[in-house]
Amino acid sequence: MVFMLEEIYEQPEAVATAVQQGDAAIRKLVKELKQQDVRYVVIAARGTSDNAATYAKYLIEIVCGIPVALAAPSVFTLYEAKLRLERCLVLGISQSGQAEDVVQTLASARAGGALTACITNVADSPLANQSEYVLLCHAGVERAVAATKTYTTTLALIALLAGHWAEETSLLNELREIPKHMHQVLPLDSQIEAAVERYRYIQECAVLARGINQATALEAALKMTETSYLVAKPYSGADFLHGPIAMIHEGFPTFLYAPDGRAYPFMWELARKLQERAAEMIIFARSPELLEFARCPIRIPIDIDERLSPLLYIVAGQLWACRLALARGYNPDSPRGLNKVTVTR
């Protein structure tokens, strides 16, 4: 069994556990956030965790009305800057909890007066030891180098935090339905396995989304890059129109992640523009109208709140990356030149 594929299939149960087990810790953190009247958030992360941080930026700003900045850890680690961070939450995200620059960012933030918290899968990690509040993924051991279940459990904890902070019951209720919805996405595996054969020799592609699914574009592109060694270029659909669309020529592989919601009309219009340029579109969407543009339509059969859609759409993206790597004759569990834990300062 391919570990990456096995761990993709473990995600419904992992997310259910993360939400159930993480609820009490998040309630305690939210109580402190309100007592301190925290007014903004800074998030430190690298790699896949940084893509989760992008989701957190969108979701917390949309749901809670709290400004969120993505930290540049080098400001703390290389330049040793001293920031004033009173009434700020500094959140570190690292699945292993061993990202040295994220740990140092939190240490510097505490010295600057910030409230600190982390999301990690390892309770006794350096990051957990540095944080005042620890939110655990409870995802179990992840054996594949490419993160899957630690990514979606991180997204689930972010959504749980935003829902409790904003006291938005509807978001929390739908979050608890996500494991059931993931079970509806997993059967797409057979369709995806057949579809990737057409794309087994591609060397580059664009991966596009808009709004809260920018995190999905980033993470889906990373998964293809690290397991299939192709050049997958992720863009916001809006940024893509400001120059990068010039890369599109007839047959250029272009992935679109486009659930229903606020970003949908823009993504439909983007697909129309790409069709005019004869792009080869692989589209992940629910809408039949949008899927008509696709050479390879992947229909996500769930009507989901757009704010939670990244938890579902990335499952299809993970399946695509895993199946593409296997079709190309690569081992997605052990990509060349990569380790499970990457330490940077």
Q: Is residue 337 part of a domain?
A: no
pLDDT tens-digit profile, the chain (345 residues) = 799 999 999 999 999 999 999 999 999 999 999 999 999 999 999 999 999 999 999 999 999 999 999 988 888 888 888 888 899 999 999 999 988 999 999 999 998 899 999 999 999 999 999 999 999 999 999 999 999 999 999 999 999 999 999 999 999 999 999 999 999 999 999 999 999 999 999 999 999 999 999 999 999 999 999 999 999 999 999 999 999 999 999 999 999 999 999 999 999 999 999 999 999 999 999 999 999 999 999 999 999 999 999 999 999 999 999 999 999 999 998 887 665 555 455
Number of folded domains that form the chain: 2
pLDDT at 337: 63
* Domain co-membership, 99 together with 154: yes
* Domain co-membership, 166 together with 62: yes
Q: Exposed, middle or buried by CB within 10 Å (0-12, 13-18, 19+), for 179?
A: buried
* Domain co-membership, 194 together with 319: yes
Q: Is residue 332 part of a domain?
A: no
Residue with the two structure tokens 């965790």: 49
* Domain co-membership, 123 together with 165: yes
Token pair listed for 284: 């992940």
Token pair listed for 167: 């006291």
- Beta bridge partners, 236, equal 209
Q: Is residue 336 part of a domain?
A: no
The H helix count followed by the E strand count for the chain is 15, 10
What is the distance between the alpha carbons of residues 211 and 236, in angstroms, rounded to a whole number? 8
* Domain co-membership, 81 together with 209: no
Domain boundary among 123, 155, 176: 176
- Beta bridge partners, 91, equal 43, 117
Domain boundary among 126, 156, 176: 176
What is the distance between the alpha carbons of residues 92 and 109, in angstroms, rounded to a whole number? 10
Q: Is residue 335 part of a domain?
A: no
Cα-Cα-Cα-Cα torsion 273, 277, 278, 282, nearest 10 degrees, comes to -50
Token pair listed for 274: 């790409």
Q: How many C-beta neighbours within 10 Å does residue 251 have? A: 11
Residue 227's domain comprises 181-327
* Domain co-membership, 8 together with 157: yes
* Domain co-membership, 171 together with 260: no
**Can you say whether the dihedral through the CA atoms of 180, 182, 185, 186 is positive or negative?**
negative
Token pair listed for 330: 């690569």
Q: Of the candidates 213, 184, 148, 130, which has an alpha carbon nearest to the alpha carbon of residue 5? A: 148
What is the distance between the alpha carbons of residues 321 and 227, in angstroms, rounded to a whole number? 7
CATH number (domain holding residue 262): 3.40.50.10490
Q: Which residues contact 254 (CB under 8 A, 6 or more apart)?
A: 205, 206, 207, 208, 248, 274, 279, 280, 281, 282
The two beta strands, 204-209 and 296-299, are unpaired
236 in Cβ contact with 209 (< 8 Å): yes
pLDDT at 71: 87
* Domain co-membership, 186 together with 170: no
* Domain co-membership, 21 together with 164: yes
What is the distance between the alpha carbons of residues 253 and 208, in angstroms, rounded to a whole number? 11
pLDDT at 82: 84
Give pTM, 2 decimals.
Answer: 0.96
Q: Is residue 270 part of a domain?
A: yes
What Cα–Cα distance (Å) separates residue 99 from each residue in 91, 144, 293?
13, 18, 41
Q: Is residue 260 part of a domain?
A: yes
* Domain co-membership, 151 together with 299: no
Q: Is residue 344 part of a domain?
A: no
Residue with the two structure tokens 């749901």: 63
Q: Which residues contact 190 (CB under 8 A, 6 or more apart)?
A: none
Domain boundary among 125, 146, 176: 176
* Domain co-membership, 146 together with 204: no
* Domain co-membership, 30 together with 154: yes
pLDDT at 338: 60
What Cα–Cα distance (Å) separates residue 192 from each residue in 36, 230, 260, 298, 332?
48, 18, 21, 8, 16
What is the distance between the alpha carbons of residues 130 and 127, in angstroms, rounded to a whole number? 5
Q: How many C-beta neighbours within 10 Å does residue 131 have? A: 25
Cα-Cα-Cα-Cα torsion 242, 244, 250, 256, nearest 10 degrees, comes to -80
Q: Is residue 333 part of a domain?
A: no
What is the distance between the alpha carbons of residues 124 and 127, in angstroms, rounded to a whole number? 8
